[in-house]
Amino acid sequence: MPIDKHTGEFIDLTEAKEMTNSYQAAFPNEPKCFFLGSEKLQSVIDQDGCIGLRMYRAFDVVRNEQNVVIVGVDANGNDMTSGLLLDKGVMCPQNCDVNSPLSS
């Protein structure tokens, strides 16, 4: 599948809720989500040649917890590892929107 800046699909809340709630039921001991600030995400996106983001699941051995590593991706589908790498998202549980339909 070709990679380009249009990759991905918007979905409605019903599908999003079904997907996130199914994941949380199948993996009850895994983090539900991670929050990363828009300024940091925008800085990764604004790098020259960046057409999108790739999110790697990660484990922080110092903090002894899961997280994600965000890296920009160029038009050839390559990780822009010499650029900005974003980590240290705020994990849920601990910091969650308890009223969100995406968090069962």
Do 54 and 71 touch, CB atoms closer than 8 A? Answer: yes
CA distances from 69 to 26, 33, 65, 87 (A): 23, 13, 13, 5
**Contact partners, residue 86, CB within 8 Å, separation at least 6:** 36, 40, 41, 43, 44, 69, 70, 71
pLDDT of residue 1: 60
Mean pLDDT of 23-39: 94
Q: Rounded to two decimals, what is the model's pTM?
A: 0.88
Mean pLDDT of 46-56: 97
Checking if the pLDDT of 39 tops 80, the result is yes
Residue 40's φ and ψ, nearest 5 degrees, are: -70, -45
**Sequence ranges of the domains in the chain:** 33-92
The helix (run of H) or strand (run of E) holding residue 92 is strand 90-92
